[in-house]
Amino acid sequence: MLPSHLNGHSPLARRRPRLSAASPPATGDSDAAAAAADAPLAEHDRIYFQSYSHIGIHEAMIKDRVRTDAYRSAIMHHQKFIEGKVVMDVGCGTGILSVFCARAGAKCVYAVEASEMATQAREIVKANNLDDKVVVVHGRVEDVEVEDKVDVIISEWMGYMLLYESMLPSVLFARDKWLKPGGLILPSHATLFMAPITNSERYEGSVDFWSDVYGINMSALVPLAKKFTSEEPSIEIIGGENVLSWPFVVKHIDCYTFKAEELKSITTKYKVSSMMLAPIHGFGLWFEVEFNGPSNPTDKSPSDLNPLDVIRTKRRRGSEDPVVLSTAPEDEPTHWHQTILYFPDPIEVKQDQIIEGSVKVSQSEENPRFLNIQLDCTM
C-alpha cells in the first residue's frame, strides 16, 4: 500500500480564483450582486479564489496553446449551436473564452468569475467592443443570479490529474440550475488515465544523487529523499517512452449526467501487463477531455473500452470529429504536465509481467479541493 496525498504543500498550487468585495456585475439585479459578493466563504475557498487574482496563473494557462487552441477550436466546431444563443462561462478568468464565444456569434455570454480578475475581465470585454454581449458577473456561480437560462455552459475546470481543485462541482451546479434541456456543455466528457512508469533519470537525480555529492558521502539523506519523493505527487513531464503498459481508466466523467457526490471517493481496480523489462518507479496519471454533445445512450464510455481502442480512436479523428484536449505523455505537453506517484524504491519487472491492484482517489475532509490518493500494487 502506497499512500500519497495531494495537499497544500505539494507543487499542485496552480489555479483558480478568489472572491472579494470588488465591483458588482455590469448588469443585473444589484441586490443579487451584493449578496454574491457578501456570501460567506470557507477559508480554503478564500485562499483558492485569491490565487486566481494573480496574473501569472492566467499567463501560464493562456500561453498553453494546446489548451487554448483546443477551446477555440471547440467553440468554432459548435458555432452553429452557439450562434444566437445564451452562454455561461464558469470561472471565466480573463474572459478569453467568453470573448471567443461572443465572436462566434453568441447572443449573450454570462462570464462568471469569483476572483478580483473579474475587474480586468470587464475591461478586456469593453476594450474588444463586446460589452453589449458579454456580462461579467463577479461572484461564485453558486451565489450569483443571471436573467436567463442558458443554452451553453463552457468552463476550463480541469486541475492537475483532472480532479485536483474540485472545480467540477461548480460546473455541475451551473448545469443543474441554469442549463436548458438539450443544452451544450464544453467540455462534455473527461477521462482520467493511469499507468506504471519508469524514470531512472528522475529517480537517480532526486535519490541516488545524495550518495556522492562533490565527493562527500551524504547517503544519510537518501532515506529522507525517498520519503519526500514518495509522500507527495510530482508534477512533471514524461514521454511515451516512460510508460510501461497500456493505460487504464481511473474514471470517465459525462458532464451531462455526472453527480458531484461521485467525486467524494473514486476506487478502481486495475490489471496491466508490462511491455518491457524495466524498473517501475511509480505510476503516472493524465487526462483528456472531449468537446461533444450529449452522449448517445448506446455509446460506450472509455471505461467500457480497451485503452488501446480509445487511443486508436483518438488517432483516427478527422476534421468532423469532436475536439479532444489530451495531456497524455505521447501528446504535446501542456501546463498540466503529468502527475507522478513515485515509489520509495523502484521495482524490477519483466516483459509481460502482470501488475495489478487498486487506486482510490478521495476528497480531503479538511479541504475538499485537495485529494488523497491510496495506491495498492502487487507484481
Residue list, annotated binding site for S-adenosyl-L-methionine: 58, 67, 91, 113, 142
User: Which H or E run includes 171?
Assistant: helix 168-178
Whole-angstrom distance, CA of residue 268 vs CA of residue 354: 17
CA of 55: how far to CAs of 17, 23, 231, in Å?
11, 18, 30
Burial readout 120-136 (b: 16 or more C-beta within 10 A, e: otherwise):
bbbebbeeeebbebbbb
Q: Which of 116, 147, 156, 330 is catalytic?
A: 156
Cα angle 187, 193, 199; round to 5? 130
Q: For residue 323, give the amino acid letter.
A: V
Considering only CA atoms, which of 208, 353, 206 is closest in space to residue 278?
353
- What Rg, from alpha-carbon coordinates, does the chain have? 22
Residue from 77, 145, 69, 65 nearest 112 by CA = 145
What is d(CA 370, CA 222) in angstroms, rounded to the nearest whole number? 28
Q: Which of 165, 232, 288, 290 is catalytic?
A: 165
Burial of 212 (0-12, 13-18, 19+ CB in 10 A): exposed
241 in catalytic set = no
The residues facing 326 across adjacent strands are 288
Q: Is 108 exposed, middle or buried (0-12, 13-18, 19+ CB in 10 A)?
A: buried
d(CA 12, CA 33): 32
**Rounded to whole angstroms, what are the CA distances from 279 to 198, 203, 243, 341?**
6, 11, 11, 14
CB atoms within 10 A of CB 40: 8
Which residues neighbour 304 within 8 Å (Cβ) at sequence distance 6 or greater? none
Burial of 372 by CB count in 10 Å (0-12 exposed, 13-18 middle, 19+ buried)? middle
Residues forming the active site: 156, 165
